[in-house]
Amino acid sequence: MSTFCEDRVCIVTGAGRGIGKEYALMLAAHGAKVVVNDLGGARDGVGSDLGPADEVVQEIKAAGGEAVANGSDVSDFASAKQMIDQAIETYGQLDVLVNNAGILRDRMLVNMEESEWDAVIQVHLKGTFAPAHHAAAYWRNQSKAGTPIDARLINTTSVSGIYGNAGQTNYGAAKAGIAAFSVIASRELKRYGITVNCIAPGALTRLTEDLQPGEITDEMRERQSPRWIAPIVTWLASRESSDVTGRVFEASGGVLAIAEGWHRGPRVDPVEDPTTLGPIVRDMVKQARLNAGMNGEDQDGGLG
């Protein structure tokens, strides 16, 4: 077993399956003590089952690692605090929180139900805020008490949120919010010894397999395996990453990249008369860099 993350106490939410499971397994393989959180619901968030989290814990223990299961609903404020408290009570400290839990309820905007919007925003956005709030409060209090802090908050965005994907206004809005949340939190928490970064993962999991067009081959499964994402999360969780904060990383079997945020583009002096804006705006649009497609590259676009 590696000692890269030795004695680091890590919580990984949504770690019973898919990407989160790979995070938990790799962190444990590198010496971390892991709280494996998973509500155990279906892809749309319905139901609960501690079984998947327990199975990951048993796999970690069988390999010689240390882990405990947790079934908290990360979008419930009190339940999220219980998860943070469990890590501290079990292992005496908390060093890393990986907010990974999520659900999908895809629908075109005109067909989306209010409940589909609310559920996705609740799980992703509040499910990031609630654990992060309680973890950050713990680290701040420790810092104020004189304990040196070398903590990590690692959140999960998506290319759907940072680049935009049709059919996912709820999911994309939540994920864009998490990216902004991470940048802002990094500025607030740096003084306490806490870094905040964000991952935009790309992988075939139970959330995404049926969104893939055509037949899924063995080669595609390998190229889009969630195991390719775990290394950057493990590195960010380690002590080695203390100088990196406020970044959004794209990670998949095809790329490891930094997604660069909004920057001001073409500009003009303020205009009082709206009737004169047509040619001015069209000239700015012509000069501006196109919005990126889902692959992070420029795509064709217009005024819309």
* Residues with catalytic roles: 171
Backbone conformation region of residue 296, classed left if phi is above 0, alpha if psi is from -120 to 50, else beta? left
Q: Which of 200, 172, 170, 159 is nearest to 295 (CA)?
A: 159
Torsion of CA 243, 247, 253, 254, to 10 degrees: -120
**CB of 10 closer than 8 Å to CB of 33:** yes
258, containing H or E segment: strand 256-259
Beta bridge partners of 194: 151
Which amino acid is it at 259?
A
**CB of 205 closer than 8 Å to CB of 226:** yes
Query: Residues 205, 206, 212, CA angle at the centre, nearest 5°?
Result: 70
**CB of 280 closer than 8 Å to CB of 270:** no
